[in-house]
Structure 1
Amino acid sequence: MNRFATRLCGAALTLAAFAGLLAGPAAAQISDDVVRIGVLTDLSGPYADSGGRGSVAAAEMAAKDFGGTVRGKPVEIVSADHQNKPDVASSIARRWYDVDRVDAIVDLPVTAIALAVQAVAKEKNRTVMITAAATSDLTAKTCSPVSSHWTDDTHALTAGTARAVFERGGKTWYFITVDHAFGHALQKEATTVVESLGGKVVGTSRHPINTADYSSFLLQAQSSGADVVGFASVGDDFTKAVKQADEFGLTSGRQTLTGFLVYVTDIKGLGLPVAHGLTFSEAFYWDQNDAARTFAKRFQERTGAMPTKNQALIYTAVTHYLKGIDKAGTDEAVAANAAMRSLPVAFFDHPATLRADGRLLYDPVLYRAKEPSASKGPWDLYEVLRTIPQAEAFLPMNPACAPNGRG
């Protein structure tokens, strides 16, 4: 970003925040006497397990646990399937904001979809809470007074994980990367960390989305002699690659297999006989503490599965949004989001704060999928390797994204 653009972005955010403060007393009300939250998710595609109906359930649980009302007005949850298409997602967002009086949108898997809806929210002055898409650009470049980013971003997913794996002996790396912007970002950020620590990337392979055969990539990774094979992919691309890695004996060899964006449903679907030894970082695991276990038990009773980090973050974000409205006395987006940034975040007894640019800060945890013999139940899947300090995981705030434009 050039100097002029940086100043312009800072000035715009300053004006928006100032306008919100001026409008505070007049806007101290709930628009149309309902707080309406839209879950815009993948209900039928590759991210339906990590989001989907479980995302809707998490939002509904948050609204109910809050009491079903805020400032005496009812809270409603609506949902829609964006079909993993940015144009569909932005069209739904516009209709929700303009016609259906939706005050906030949450979830949003897929980077292009999150960026598209974030832009609509900024244009319409409505709240958006991104809990699934992971690009760090959502706060580093496209920050907004009405937007917040809750999940671990591409920098946290790679920088913290790569450093932690490196410190455990992973000095040389081979990447198997899905050939699109998200995969490229994961590989680039992990490479930067590995090389800055004195490690080396000895090879890479790139594959199209929805590749069926990973054999040539896996054989190259195996023969490279790399300490670590890093899968810079997500969803079906990731799970198919790991399944085939197991068939080629990589999961039982000396190489460490590392994923960057991994959900508990991925590990459950793969099964520990295949996934054992896989390392990755997570913002949330259902068995991390008593608060997480209590929520997870209720969620499982409702949905039949343990919550993913996306679903847990939706519960957290929706709860925090309602607290923000309650403090601000209004669902006007700038005022509500300013209140959200001033309040402590209740993240299942995991210390967390919402930074001025909307970035949720916490300490991710590096996990390893358990050996089958160590598991005590169908969802007992992870063992803790180390906690990653937030300073290692997250980028510093872009000064242009601070309310005063100075950081």
Structure 2
Amino acid sequence: MTRAYPFSEPEKLDIEPLFEKLRSEEPLSRVTMPYGEPAWLATRYEDVKVVLGDPRFSRAAATGRDEPRLRPHLPPPGNILSLDPPDHSRLRRLVMKAFTMRRIDALRTRAQEIADGLVDAMLTEGPPADLVEAFALPFPVTVICELLGVPFEDRGDFRVWSDAFLSTTKFTPDEVLDAMTKMREYMAGLIAVRRETPHDDLLGALVVARDEDDRLSEEELLSLAQTLLVAGHETTASQIPNFVYALLTHPGQLALLRADLSLVPKAVEELMRFVPLGTGAGIARYALEDVELGGVTVRAGEPVLPALASANRDDAVYADPEVLDLLRGEATHIGFGHGAHHCLGAPLARMELQVALETLLRRLPDLRLTDGESGLDWKKGLSTRGPLQLPLAWG
């Protein structure tokens, strides 16, 4: 039996109800995505980890294939997400220099200043405030702009480009192509400036790696810069209101966190497990040989989609997985992926989410939804979830 996937329209932050049945009875199931060839869908935690981490499954093998996907457009050539080691490792090492724990710890002070400045503005304006526009969007955008070396005043443009990049149905294919072309031209312009005048930022370092060390091609440089710009802010900008919404709709857990803000790092990890960011499965991996997985044989050349949201709710791994438990102590979530393609920006995202939650809960007492849940509108036509606005009051 082959099912159309996603199985249903996403509802708020709810998990697809069919996942539980599939984990129990059909852990690898045949699906067709809106675009691309049929695939296997892996729903169990251990199987998903194999797909993400076992070298018998490849991203590079998708090149030239009509890979299963939510969006009409295929990943651009040279994209780090479409590579296997050693090419993937080479690019990853270049970027990881910016995302070391020591550098992220140093950046935390600046991130705290940005967060406090945004909350200062919210307090000056007074409640209610839309958390999305007042905090969740400008906070990670400012951080990635300063880290990468992108002018903050251009944020309006790349916000539209990011939405187009993540579009499933919100934009037409022609609109997506136009946005991607404009973003590419924009990044090429920034790269040209750095070739004229060296800059001490991540983009400047990547230009040096291209021009002086010959460690990446021009196409890789452009693709990497675009990916970092989009991924460096979009996921965190979505997860901040998602996390706040999840806490506000779980008052017992919110009270626990308010009483002890030292729990914020642990809370971020549990929220990463509990809150689904995407509207579909992860990026397909192709089997390089026949692999026994989830009770079936995945033949060489067949794609497998890892359902991260399902894996993070696997009751073989987590006790009461449908419960948000900020004191949970079980296995590590895979919200940031696993294996070679584990999110290279995870240290930055963790730091930003920790700073955001701690600052909001410390400085805005009795934070609450102004109109309850009923008046919220949620993103549609994008591959990421989240409320379009999150009106809050405090005090």
TM-score range, shorter chain: under 0.3
Instruction: Tell me the TM-score normalised to structure 1 length.
Output: 0.27
Between the two structures, name the one with larger relative contact order (CA 8 Å, sep ≥ 6). Answer: 2
Instruction: Tell me the TM-score normalised to structure 2 length.
Output: 0.27
Structure with the higher fraction of residues in strand conformation: 1
